[in-house]
Amino acid sequence: MAPVIVYSEEESWGKQLLTAAKGLGDPVLFTFNRNVAEKLSGMYTRTYYVKTDSFDPVAISGALRDVVNKESATILLFPCTNKGRMIAGLTSGALGFEAITDAVSVVKTGEGLEVEKLTFGGNAMAKVKAGDKASVCIVSGSYKETEEAGSTGELVEIEAKAGSVEVEYSPRKMEGVDPTKADVVVGAGRGVKKKEDLEMIKELASLLGGAWSVTRPLAADYGWADSWIGISGLVISPKLYIAIGISGQPHHTMGVRGAKIIVAINNDESAPIFEEADYGVIGDLYKVVPVLIKKLKERKQQ
């Protein structure tokens, strides 16, 4: 079977993309996270761990290109994250691969790859065909994580390679806990009427030991936060996501599909978020959230 290279810097992504890769060929992992390499090398046929002190996209993409050439790989899978997209773009451009983003499924046909992907900002799906050399960025939650360990695969350590192109990577500084790494994320939407009211969202997140974030309008239109959750923002996979005053448009919910449990608080019982949620509270967030905060504080004092 031809190798399919999965780029992953996180365990969950490594397991999700492994499921996708298994249907396409022989899965080979590429990562710059030592922990991921060690944990997942038993699941992949081969794992390439690239040693690097920091996230240097050019060096990482250079090392990935070497691996692609060494393996004679023609299919590359990436997570639809900011870093994943960046490495996919640099690598595909340099190798002359087609690059397809926002994919939810990838299948191999006699003619190449058939990819189902989100389009019109997540409101519709499109089926596109890719030629014989392609990179595909996959949206979180599209594939279930592979759980069973396979035979112990080879772990190969490689050096990052300095590139000839200079790319400046300056991630925005986040206030508090990083939502992409937190077990609990509290998300606020336009149901929150004033910037000051975000304080109760932050307090709830802090009491739950988690992170807070917002929908795009609150960040991009109102400037209340530096980042947002959704298809054009952060993609999160917490154990618990609490969506407060969020209607649940696909642009947003595509970013939380990896969450294990979703709880929604909304005063409109017909809000689409309730279709995504495992638990729902139909009510005014200005009444519900203070009660939650009070109860959590009482519990902490017990």
Ligand X SMILES: Cc1cc2nc3c(=O)[nH]c(=O)nc-3n(C[C@H](O)[C@H](O)[C@H](O)COP(=O)(O)OP(=O)(O)OC[C@H]3O[C@@H](n4cnc5c(N)ncnc54)[C@H](O)[C@@H]3O)c2cc1C
What does the binding site for ligand X look like in residue numbers (CB under 6 A)? 121, 189-191, 215-217, 228-233, 245-247, 249, 251-252, 255, 265-268, 271, 284-286
Please, which residue, 14 or 230, has the CB nearer to ligand X? 230
CB of residue 268 to ligand X, shortest distance in Å: 3
> In one letter, which amino acid is 23?
G
Please, which residue, 45 or 249, has the CB nearer to ligand X? 249
CB of residue 178 to ligand X, shortest distance in Å: 17
Please, which residue, 259 or 271, has the CB nearer to ligand X? 271
Rounded Cα–Cα distance for residues 173 and 55 (Å): 15
Please, which residue, 67 or 271, has the CB nearer to ligand X? 271
The residue of the chain with the least Cβ separation from ligand X equals: 230
Rounded Cα–Cα distance for residues 278 and 280 (Å): 7
First to last CA, the chain: 59
CB of residue 288 to ligand X, shortest distance in Å: 7
CB of residue 231 to ligand X, shortest distance in Å: 5
- Which secondary-structure segment (H or E) carries 212? strand 211-214
For residue 68, what are the contacts with CB-CB under 8 A and spacing of at least 6?
5, 76, 91, 95
CB of residue 276 to ligand X, shortest distance in Å: 12
Bridge partner list, 186: 212, 242
At 244, phi and psi to the nearest 5?
Answer: -115, 120
Please, which residue, 189 or 210, has the CB nearer to ligand X? 189
